[in-house]
Amino acid sequence: MSAIGIVSMRSLPRLRAAIRAFGFAGLALIAVAVGLSDVIARAPADATGIGPVLAPPSSQFLLGTDALGRDVLSETLHALAVTLIHAGLATAITLAAGSLFGFIAARLPWKSGVVVRWFAGILGAVPALLLAILFVGIATRDYAAIAAGLAAAPLAFSRTYDRARALSVSRHAEFARATGIQGATLMRRDLAYEFRDTFLTIAARALAAVTITLSTMSFLGFGAVPPHRDLGLMIAAARASYLEAWWVAAFPALALLLLILFARLAAALDEGERP
Amino acid sequence: MWRFLLLQAARLALGLVGAVLLAACVAALAAEGAQSGAGAYFSALLAQLNAFAHLDFGTSIISGIPALGELGLRLPVTLELVGLGAIVALVLGGPLGILLGTERPLRAAAPLLQIVAATPVFVASLALLWLAANVLHWPDMTFPVFADRGDLDSTVRVLALPVLTVGAAGAAAIQLALRRATAEAMDEPYRRGLRLMGLSTLEINRVYLLPQVLTGLCRSFGDIALALFAAAAVAEWVFGWPGAAVLFLKSVALHDWHVAALVLFVFAAIKFLADFAGELGAEALSARSAAT
């Protein structure tokens, strides 16, 4: 291997760590912007007639106004807050019903976890978006965040289950059992170590997945309910005028893209990898 | 080989059984009183499984025609979109994956790929629509006259944007599968040995690298199919294509559970069939490669 090759191989983990840190910094910045959205935004959420209709970006309205005279900057900030809150809830559900349950299911007695793994595989064969829409159809749009979290859970479950199965038959597990350590103690220990090392990565991955699902659901009319508009709903509403007034869709789309991009970077996802 | 084949067939059968169960769970919601309690739901579920066993998939409450007939009208549209999208995905993702896997300096393009991968399908489709309207000056393509494909120009206009949208989503999955397989194969120690034996790089790549890369691609067939169908759902909605994915969305919105269940079953079955075909293809390529 050439000297350049060796150097690049050595610097690869450092580069990955830097990219992850950049992703988390970006997410933190978004969280701060969301936290201060009521202060930064010049108008409350869904306030119409703030300015002229479809005014382009200017010094008065930095990101322009929409078809109802709403300030696009204020609306984007409010919608980003709604998106992040819903995505946070959905992420928590994915982590609990997918990752945590997957870890526990791998240690269930009488190999009953295999049946759950099979069922997760069935649910994972349907696109998460369609699964989430189905859940919303069965319940109501008020439960969109829960539906998105549950729809992303099968994939998270399968990943964690497979890793936990490998851990449960590893050498350290064999030694532990041979020395009389209880299965429950071993599981607690593995759970603590596994999640201590990977929790943030798994959470960022789930955040990327549920944000895409939630915003697409809202865009299709199965997600957020007005007046609590999220970015997907805001972009959907902009469809009527964005061909002539690009700013009404471009800025919410940019905010959404940044949120997903930072979550992907924080999760150290490969380019094109499914979150 | 027979053992492998039987194992894969068993996995496929189990997957299809699960897909039937999932579809029955959804279709059972259509039964009267099914949502009034667990007991009523389970008896509706059993009745639904019995109906499925007799190939009775119910009737659409919207159109009044059998769910199977409704799906028969819409599925070809989705399959056309997904099929054309798969071709675009191969054309875009194939060379990109191999180039990024073999040419290390091209990894500088990674940030751009991350941005593309972070773009939701609906945002990408709206961006394409904007470009078509404002740069190419095409007429509004959101609700094209679907059957109007009289000449090449109108055919291209009807197909281009939705196919590109679906193709881009598939290309991301294909380039990733190829890039990982290529990068793995490029680091194999046998390459150095073969070169010392006097084989040219082209020969090594054609005889040894290509089957290994194609094996990696085959193993990702299921994921690629899933990416294509998920993108098709959004593309059909945005571009007004009357396909099965839009049928699913409308069925769920209007609680037409028989149709929704059937669409879910077909999508899940296609994923399992793609997994099955991919595993068989990968095994055949591995066996051929080992024989070489």
CATH number at residue B236: 1.10.3720.10
Interatomic CA distance for residues B50 and B185, integer angstroms: 50
In this complex, the residue of B114, B133, B272 whose CB is nearest that of residue A261 is B114
Q: Closest Cα partner for B20 from B254, B249, B272? A: B272
Q: Is B10 on the interface with A (CB under 8 A)?
A: no
Chain A residues whose beta carbon lies within 8 Å of the beta carbon of residue B271 = 125-126
Q: Is the residue at B80 inside a domain?
A: yes
Per-residue pLDDT of chain A (275 residues; tens, 9 = 90+): 444 444 455 566 788 888 899 999 999 999 999 999 888 888 898 889 999 999 999 999 999 999 999 999 999 999 999 999 999 999 999 999 999 999 888 888 777 888 999 999 999 999 999 999 999 999 988 899 999 999 999 999 999 999 888 888 888 888 888 888 887 888 888 888 877 878 899 999 999 999 999 999 999 999 988 888 999 999 999 999 999 999 999 999 999 999 999 999 999 887 767 77
pLDDT at A6: 44
pLDDT of residue B221: 93
CB contacts, 8 Å: A239 with chain B: 126, 142
Domain assignment present for residue A260? The answer is: yes
Q: In angstroms, rounded to a whole number, what is the distance separating the alpha carbons of residues A57 and A73? A: 10
B178–chain A Cβ distance below 8 A for any pair: no
Q: Does B273 touch chain A (CB under 8 A)?
A: no
ipTM exceeding 0.95, yes/no: no
Contacts of A81 (CB under 8 A, 6+ apart): A34, A37
Residue B60 falls inside a structural domain? no
Are the C-beta atoms of residues A78 and A138 closer than 8 Å to each other? no
Task: Please tell me the predicted confidence (pLDDT) of residue B138.
Answer: 83
Q: Is residue B31 part of a domain?
A: no
Any domain includes B136: yes
- Using only C-alpha atoms, what is the Rg of chain B? 23
Q: Which residues of B touch A121 (CB under 8 A)?
A: 15, 18
Number of domains composing chain B:
1
Determine the pLDDT at residue B145: 47
Is residue B16 in some structural domain? no
CA distances from residue A14 to A18, A200, A267 in whole angstroms, order as listed: 6, 18, 15
**Spatial CA neighbour of B247 closest among B108, B71, B34:** B71
* Interface subset of B 233-272, CB within 8 angstroms of A: 233-234, 237, 245, 248-249, 252-253, 255, 260, 264, 267-268, 271-272
How many domains, in total, are found in chain A?
Answer: 1
DSSP state of A269: P
Cβ <8 Å between B264 and A270: no
The gap between the terminal CA atoms of chain B, to the nearest Å, is 17
- Rounded Cα gap, residues B238 and B222, in angstroms: 25
Instruction: Note the pLDDT of residue A143.
Output: 93
B121 contacts in chain A (CB < 8 Å): 216
What are the tokens at A106?
């791998």
pLDDT along chain B (292 residues), means of 10: 90 96 95 84 94 92 92 94 95 85 66 84 94 85 57 80 92 85 78 80 79 87 92 92 93 96 96 95 83 67
Q: How many CB atoms lie within 10 A of CB A29?
A: 12
Supply the range of the domain harboring residue A132: 85-223+254-275
**Burial (CB count <10 Å: 0-12, 13-18, 19+), residue B109:** middle
Orientation of helix B152-186 relative to helix B210-219, angle to 10°: 110
With CA atoms as reference, report the closest residue to A131 among B74, B249, B225, B242.
B249
Alpha carbons B177 and B185: distance in angstroms, whole number:
12
Q: What is the pLDDT of residue B104?
A: 63
Residue A60 is assigned to a structural domain of this protein: no
Is B101 part of any domain? Answer: yes
Q: Do A257 and B272 touch (CB under 8 A)?
A: no
Phi, psi dihedrals of residue B90, rounded to the nearest 5°: -65, -45
Contacts of B119 in chain A (CB under 8 A): 257, 260
Q: Which DSSP state fits A239?
A: T
- In this prediction the pTM is 0.90
Note whether B226 contacts A219, CB cutoff 8 Å.
no
Q: Which residues numbered 199-258 in A keep a CB inside 8 Å of some CB on B? A: 208, 212, 215-216, 219-222, 232, 235, 239, 242-243, 246, 249, 253, 256-257
> What pLDDT is stored for residue B247 in this prediction?
95
User: 3-class DSSP state for residue A65?
Assistant: strand
Query: Which domain does B287 fall in, by range?
Result: 68-291
Other Cβ atoms closer than 10 A to B265: 23
